Structure 1
Amino acid sequence: MPTISMFYGIIIRMYCAPDEHNPPHFHAYYGKYKAIIDINTCELIKGNLPGKQLKLVLAWAELRQEELLANWVLGTGNEWRIAV
């Protein structure tokens, strides 16, 4: 699972494989915490992060939503559109 970003001790990774399951998502790690974030909704799907770190990750995802979705399509071949 390649690391695509690191900030404030948070590691962002996206698994890239043709059979990766939908919805488009990425994994965020902070110490012993792990969360899965939906790219289309920029919401927590599974896991947990401390409050401050979760807010940072969700804000980061909103700012980079189109880029994250493009990475998902390139990595998995699964096309999705951002809900507007």
Structure 2
Amino acid sequence: MPRLSEFYGIAVYMYFADHNPPHFHAIYGSHEAAIAIESGEVLAGDLPRRALKLLVEWIAIHRDELLDDWRRATDGETLIPIAPLD
């Protein structure tokens, strides 16, 4: 499970050959969630409100890169790290 980014204690990962819809996994402390790339919706798990707000902001900035990495993951290609939220 390659790490795409890490910021403010939130680690962002993407699995190879994962199920649709396009999403990533975020870990913050003892919390973990699958987050939809298109909507920022929590698909599974849970995160504190502040961590989710930061992720939604990060998605808005990097949506195209996330979708490109999703395509790469489904094709079994190497993922490209994404800049953290400043």
Give the 3-state SS of the residue equivalent to 2:72 in structure 1. helix
Once the two structures are superposed, residues 47-82 of structure 1 have per-residue CA deviations (whole angstroms, 9 ceiling, x without a partner) of 1111111100111112111110000001103xxxxx
* Match of residue 8 from structure 2: 8
* Match of residue 34 from structure 2: 36
User: In the TM superposition, what is the alpha-carbon distance from 1:4 to its structure 2 partner?
Assistant: 0.5
Which moves more between the two structures, 4-13 or 36-45? 36-45
* Match of residue 55 from structure 1: 53
Task: Give the 4+ runs in structure 1 shifted more than 6 A.
Answer: none
Gaps of 5+ in 2: 76-86
Instruction: Using CA pairs under 8 Å that are at least 6 residues apart, name the structure with larger relative contact order, 1 or 2.
Output: 2
Partners of 2:47 and 2:40 in 1: how far apart?
14
TM-score normalised to structure 2 length: 0.82
Gaps of 5+ in 1: 78-84
* Match of residue 73 from structure 2: 75
* Match of residue 83 from structure 2: none
Give the 3-state SS of the residue equivalent to 2:38 in structure 1. coil
TM-score normalised to structure 1 length: 0.84
> CA-atom RMSD, angstroms?
0.9
| Identity within the alignment, % | 48
